[in-house]
Structure 1
Amino acid sequence: MTVAYGREPSLDADAFIDLLERSGLAERRPVGDRLRIEAMLANAGLIVTARAAGLLVGVARAVTDFSYCCYLSDLAVDRAWQGRGVGRGLLRVVRREAGGPGVRCILLSAPGAVGFYERAGLMRHAQCFDFTDTPLD
């Protein structure tokens, strides 16, 4: 079955939550907080979807300036569609839509997805820091 990729800036929160659940990423996202999910979608600079016969099978959600950098905050593929190239397809479209060659595309991997990113040829970066829960006062 053919997968169609495209920008979908008005992706519905219910569809996004459903895909997060079908992908396994729901355990790492606030799917029980609908207002937060709606804000995540509304404030993303770039949302790319993968659809097969209209069924949402993958989503990439990114924050980007479309010039210098793109942070891929979510890459979710329905478990039934994993291993079919959907994740790589989403990565390609995100890079293209974010501005193409020269735009620095970065992400933080879920522990269980590290192998996928390594197989996809992404380069690990040792200088990444997470200061989410660090007191800065």
Structure 2
Amino acid sequence: MNISYKSDIIPDAEEVIELFIQAGLKRPTDPERIALMLKNADLLITAWQNDKLVGICRTITDWVWCAYLADIAVFTGFKQSGIGKEMISLTRERIGPQCMLLLLSVPTAFDYYPKVGFNKEDRAFSIERVL
């Protein structure tokens, strides 16, 4: 499987919507909102098989203390191929060792994150979005 990773492009919103839907992530399907989510991210790592987007890792960070891994998605047919793990590794490399990487997990991924180096935390709080 020939996968290339990029951090210098913003993929088309429609491609990302297709990826989120296919990967089973509940995310907005409004192209304008997705485009803004991508544009306003501090770091995007994407995975490509030729010209097809097969994975994305979107991070928001201050680069010196913490980084929030807001989205990680891999096409179902490419799961268990190491793409997610590699995107996380590239993200950690880019944010540096001084940054904590944190995320909120969907229930179906609870078992995945400890396998790729995350610690389970019981001290998080959130206020849900209205829209």
Given the two structures, how large is their TM-score scaled by the length of structure 1? 0.88
How many positions carry a matched residue from both structures?
130
Q: CA deviation at 1:103?
A: 0.8
Cross-structure match for 2:3 = 3
Cross-structure match for 1:82 = 79
* Gaps in structure 1 of 5+ consecutive residues: none
For 2:117 and 2:94, the matched residues in 1 are separated by 19
- Residue 111 of structure 2 aligns with an amino acid whose one-letter code is G
Pick aligned residue for 1:128 from 109, 115, 124:
124
Cα shift readout 1:68-103 (whole Å, capped 9, x = no counterpart): 2110000000000000111100100111112x2121
CA contact (8 A) 1:58 1:76 kept: yes
CA contact (8 A) 1:9 1:46 kept: no
For 1:6 and 1:21, the matched residues in 2 are separated by 21
For 2:86 and 2:33, the matched residues in 1 are separated by 27
Cross-structure match for 1:30 = 28
Identity %: 35
Cross-structure match for 2:19 = 19
Given the two structures, how large is their TM-score scaled by the length of structure 2? 0.91
Q: CA deviation at 1:121?
A: 2.8
Tell me the secondary structure at the aligned position of residue 51 of structure 1: strand
- Residue 17 of structure 1 aligns with an amino acid whose one-letter code is I
Runs (4+) of structure 1 moved beyond 2 Å? none
Q: CA deviation at 1:36?
A: 1.2
